[in-house]
Every structure is written in C-alpha cells, then in structure tokens.
Chain A
Amino acid sequence: MFKTFRKFLMVAAPAALLAIGTVGTSRAVEISGAGSTFVAPIMYKWIKIFQKSHPDIHVDYEAIGSGGGINGLIGKTIDFCGSDAYMSDAQIQQAGGHVLHMPEVAGPEVMSYNLPMVHKQLVMNGKLIADIYLGEVTRWNDPAIKKLNPGVKLPDLPILVAHRSDGSGTTFIFTGYLCKVSPTWKKQVGQSTSVNWPVGRGGKGNPGVAALIEKTIGGLGYLEYAYAITGHFPVARLINKDGYAIQPSMPSVIAAQKAVVENLPADLRLHIINPSGKKAYPISGFTYLITDRDLGYMRKSKAKATLEFIHWILTTGQKYAKTMQYIRLGPAMQKQVLAQLAKATWKGHHLHY
C-alpha cells in the first residue's frame, strides 16, 4: 500500500507539471526523469540549454533522491532516472532485467579537514582514512599521519570525525573505497548508502558535514568535490594505488577514468575506486542516467526524444560540466558510454535520433 502511495506521488508530481506544460505546447513531446539530487543543478542547466535547440521536446526532472528515481524506473512511471549509485542486481530484476547504465558526469570525493595552524596541504592514504573512521587513529599527531606528512607540525588534538547522516550515494562510494583499502572495514562495517559508523558524528547532506568540520578545530570528513571547491574548504591530497599523492581536480579524475576504461564491466556499473596510474585520483564515482534497454513501453516519439536528450547530454552537454564544478567524461569513457546508449531499442528496433 505504501509503495503504491510512493508511486502515486512520483506519477502525480510530474504529471501535474506536464499537464500545465501541455496547455501551451500541444505538439511537444514530454519526457520526464527523476532521481539524484546531486546531479540536479547541472541537469536543470542541461534541460534549459537543450530546450533552446529542441523546442519540440519538453524535459522535466524531479530531484527526489536516487532511491526514488530507481523506484520510478522500476514502476515505469518515468522515462529516465538519475542515480548516484548503480542499480543492484535485485533492483535490475525488479525493473524487468534489462536496463542501461550511462555515466553522465563523474563526482570525486575529497577529504576535508579543519586545522588552521597547519599551512601545508596534508597527505593521506586509504589505510589511514579507514583507521581514522574505525576509531583506531584518534589524534592528529598520530605516527601514522606524521609518517605521511614529514616536516609538517601536527597538533596534539583529537580528530573529530564527520560523516553523512542521510543515506546517500556519496557514502556508498566512500565506504566502497574503505572496503577496498581496508579488510577490517569490509568485515566490520561494509558498504552501503548508510552504515553503522564506529566513530564520529553525522551531518545531514554536504552542508551538515561541512558544518561539523568547520565548527571544531581538528574536524575531518568527506565531501563532494563540487561542494568543497565552491566552499573553498581545505582538502587533502590522497595517495593512490601506485603511491602518488594526488590533488583532487578535473585532470586527475579524468586520468582516473582513463585508468579504468580498459577493463570496464559490460554494463558500466562501476565506481572509480583506487585505480592505478600516475595521475589518477583514488575516490570518485559516476552519476548515472538509467533507462530501460527497450523503451517499447512508451510511444515511439517519446522514446526517440528520450534517447536524443541523453545523447545530447553525453556529447554537447559535457562542456557545461566544468562551469558547474562537475567533472566531465574523458574522451575514452565517453566513447564507451555512447556505445552503451547505442544498445537502446524501441520494440526491438534501433531508433535514429
């Protein structure tokens, strides 16, 4: 009963908007998407620009959270879903067994800290971050931190660990990274959109975590790159798989994409965690556009418009990523994603768009 209600909400909200939209532009094709709030700012910008060159297609996006978007896709109440986490096997089964995951932009995660007395940028590695989040390293002058930062005068202060309190794709990627670098973490805590944190305090959303870090000298937490950059929060360089200390930035994330592009899983369900390479940043994930592989459940014109919009995002739309502090797809990755899009069909036929 409850699920039905959620579905009802998901149908009702876009439907109401569509109904209003229809009055003016009676011949336009309406497509609607829902999901990730992380991608919402650039999605709205994309829609605005796309609309200018394609006045006959009306796109609507509701930022209701990745989980809600996936449920919408399962219930076929929306045409495409934006999600920070890829769908689990069980969810894909629920959605009919065949979906397409298309990464649209990458989102690195950064370790931000509050140590005003330290003027040099700190360096951390995966093991250290896992130990801090497990509660094994508790003070800033711990030998493990000193070893990675020779010559930096570290204060004798407790580390105030901050994490996300709301279920989020950001936490999913971050805990995935910790699982990969620390067997103890994998065994004790695991990977999920929210976990049973051994230590620390939770803040709601990026602003909540940022508030926790900012408030106390000695604070440490993970933030989305875009949020940290716009807020000018100090971020640590992270040591990657090959031992290089990497600054989170657009080139280092594109380098990370390049490192994984050779052995991509066929369905593109991946996070870029701990890739090898001289310049590859260790923690980033993709945010995905997800659709059914066969769009036979919608009208042909609608299927065509949906694919056209996605294709536009993956090609022309990419250049708007930078100004919005998102990280675009690298050329090699882009090619793979377009190949994925080409698999989409309508009642078994490939469409031209």
Chain B
Amino acid sequence: MAAIFTVAKQRAGDFPVRIIHGFCLQCTRKMMSNPTPRNSPASAFSPWHRLFRSVLDRLTVGLSISGVVMMLGILLLIFAVLLNGAWMAIGQIGWKFFTTATWNPVPGMDQYGVLSFAYGTAVTTIIALLLAVPLSIGCAVFITRIAPQWLAGPVSFLVELLAAIPSVVYGLWGAFVMSPWLQTHIELWMWKATRNIRLIPIGYYPGHRREYFPANLVHGGPSGSDYLAGGLILTIMILPIITAITRDVLQQFPEELEQGAYGLGATWWQTTRLALTYCRVGIFGAAVLGMARAIGETMAVVMVIGNTDRVSSSLFAGGQTMAGVFVNEFLEADHPIYLSAMMYVALTLLISALLTNIAARVLLNRISTV
C-alpha cells in the first residue's frame, strides 16, 4: 500500500496545473493575468496555495484508491455471500454437481446438477460470438471506411441504440416475433436441408438409434424455442458493444500507415486487412466484452431458449443457461438445499466468468506480442 502511495504521490506531483486550477481562485486569477501558467514552477505561488494544492492532491489520490478498494471489496463480498449460501450444497453434492445434468427440486427427490445449464450457457455464447463478431466487424468497417460522412453517423447511432433496449423487451420480442419466424422460416429450411445428411457417426440416441453429424444438429425438428433462438437473441444484444468498440479501434488506425499502404500499391481490401490486423488486439478485446455480456444475459434468453434441463447436441433442442435458471427459480426456491443449490449455480457462473476472462487475457497477451 505504501508503495502505491509513493508512486501516486510522485505522479500527483507531475499533474499539470490545469487539472486542478478550477478549484483554486488564486490559481485562476494568476492564469488570467499570465497566459502560460502551466510551466511556471509551483514555488511561484504562495505557501498557502502550495498547502491547498498538496491537500487537494492527496484527497484525489485517496479517493481513487478507496474507489479501487471498494470495487475489490464488493467483488470479494459477492464471492463470500455466494460461498456462504452454497456451502450446504457444496457439502452435500460436491463435485457431482458438475457431472450431473438432472435438476429436480421436488422436496424429497432433490437432485441438483449444473451440467445442462453450463452447457446451455456455453452453446448460446458460442453461437452468439460466431455470428456477432463477423457482423460487428463488417458493420464497423462500413462505418469507418465505406460509408460517407452523412451516413456513418446515423448508422453508428442506430447500432448503439440497440444497446439501449431493455433485456426483457428483447425477450418478449424474441418470444412473440423472432421465435415463430425462426421456426417457420430459418429452422424449417435448415431442417429440410440437413436432416438426411449423415456423415460422421457420433453416438446413440436413447433407443439405440445412431446419431450422425450434421443431421444431429437439427434433430427434433424446428421448434423456435431452442439453443439457436437463445444464441440469436444474444447475437443481437452483443452486436452494439462489439461494433462500437471495433469502430473506435479502427478509427485509431494511423493515417500514415494507410497512406503508406496505398502508396505501395495496396488495394482497398488489402489496406482494410492491414487495418484489421493492426487493430486485432482491440477487436479481440471487443469480442471478450461481448462474450461477458452473453454469459451473464438472463431475461431475453429465458424467453426464447425453451427452459429444459437436458443436454442435447441438437441446436433445435430446448435448453437452459446458468443465469436463466436463476431468474426462473430463485424467487420460489423454498427449501434450504434447493436455495443452496441455486447459490452453487451462481458461484459456478461467477467462477466460470472469471476463468473465461483470465483465459481471454492470456490470449490477448499472446496476440499482442505476435
């Protein structure tokens, strides 16, 4: 802690006066009489003023450090509360929680496993990322490199507007508009195209019928309330954040490099590729933020995913996500082990979010050094 303070103090000493002059009358007065007060040494001010500045500096540093401590404290507190709540389930269920897909909260039958929910979270997030990342990059390239000025502004405003729509509105729209449309158009077409293609045997359905890829992806027929629908609604929801960040990153592509590329005879497409490669770290970061949102999204997914606690390799099967089971069952979780198992799910969600973020960090470091 002391080290942080020393560093912070040194930094604070370098603060240009303009950051704090707004608080100090004396300073402001001097600024008005002297057009270049920024470079004047601190000793040019009265001792009172120096004292005032040092107090102000310390206050700012103290406030920012307490902000950091508070943030970490809240995270630790959340972790502690979840661990405390889940303690009973951890003791009674243990590791089996991660290998069981059955979720049976009927009192007396109690059987809890997070596997089907974790699977649902993973599948919907992957679908969302696979669809949203290329779309967002395309959108950002359009805004920064293709669209004329008068069009780029409105387009990027509209994309950002998607982020302002509440989750539950997406959910209702998803359930009443997207899902029936998906079922009768996209899924029907996918089903007709794929159901008879049996390339790679991958296992057995209950009843000893062989399961083949890719026919297994559409097993069960179009339903509209399934992993695919959950993934699609997430795609729309994470689109704005990935697009906005990618756009900002692409705008940072240096003019010299662009001119240089053209100068060397690169085509428009080759220059764009150079820009994308140059900005890859930022774009990857945008995808990670989108992923974080997809993992934690609840209401909209619950409305379209079909809410069943089974694991299926079919995209057309109903599923459930970890965040989804929470929003569904938490309020009426009425006996202790049930409630504790819910907390165990939340703990799993928190830890897996942490792990994916760490993994993303590691990956990020790797691509930034390539």
User: What is the interface of chain A, defined by CB distance below 8 A to chain B?
Assistant: 1-2, 5, 64-68, 70, 88, 90-91, 160, 165-169, 189-197, 200-204, 207-208, 211-212, 214-216
Contact = CB atoms under 8 A, between A and B. Distances in A.
Contacts of B107: 88, 192
B106 A202 contact: no
Contact of A204 (B103, B318, B328): B328
B357 interface: no
User: Closest 9 A-B residue pairs measured CB to CB?
Assistant: A167-B332, A202-B307, A165-B307, A196-B104, A65-B331, A190-B106, A201-B306, A211-B175, A192-B106
Contact of A216 (B80, B183, B303, B329): B183
Interface residues of B, number: 41
Contact of B331 (A64, A202, A214): A64
A189 B183 CA distance: 30
Contact of A208 (B111, B303, B330, B331): B303
Interface in B324-369: 327-335, 343
Interface of B: 80-81, 84-85, 102-109, 111, 171-172, 175-176, 179-180, 183, 223-225, 302-303, 306-309, 318, 320, 327-335, 343
Given A196-B106, A202-B318, A207-B175, A168 B332 contact: yes
A216 B223 contact: yes
Contacts of A67: 331-334
B332 A193 contact: yes
Contacts of B104: 195-196
A151 B100 CA distance: 47
Given A204-B303, A207-B172, 8 more contacts: A160-B223, A166-B331, A190-B106, A191-B106, A203-B175, A204-B328, A208-B302, A214-B176
A215 B105 contact: no
A302 B235 CA distance: 53
B108 A201 contact: no
18 contacts: A66-B332, A88-B107, A90-B335, A165-B302, A167-B332, A196-B109, A196-B111, A201-B307, A201-B318, A202-B306, A202-B308, A204-B327, A207-B172, A211-B179, A212-B225, A215-B175, A215-B183, A216-B224
B166 to A, nearest CB: 15
Contact of A201 (B81, B308, B327, B334): B308
A70 B224 CA distance: 37
Contacts of B225: 201, 203, 212, 215
A212 B307 CA distance: 11
Contacts, number: 115
A150 B112 CA distance: 44
B167 to A, nearest CB: 12
A2 B105 contact: no
A197 B329 CA distance: 14
Contact of B308 (A70, A193, A197): A197
Contacts of B330: 167
A84 to B, nearest CB: 9
Contacts of A195: 104-106
B106 to A, nearest CB: 4
A296 B131 CA distance: 61
B175 A1 contact: no
A203 B223 contact: no
Contacts of B111: 196
A166 B332 contact: yes
A203 B307 contact: yes
Contacts of A214: 176, 180
A2 B328 contact: no
Given A167-B331, A215-B224, A2 B179 contact: no
B105 A192 contact: yes
Given A1-B84, A64-B331, A66-B332, A204 B302 contact: yes
A166 B308 contact: no
B343 A2 contact: yes
A155 B183 CA distance: 20
Nearest to B181: A215
Nearest to A5: B81
Contacts of B183: 215-216
Contacts of A68: 331
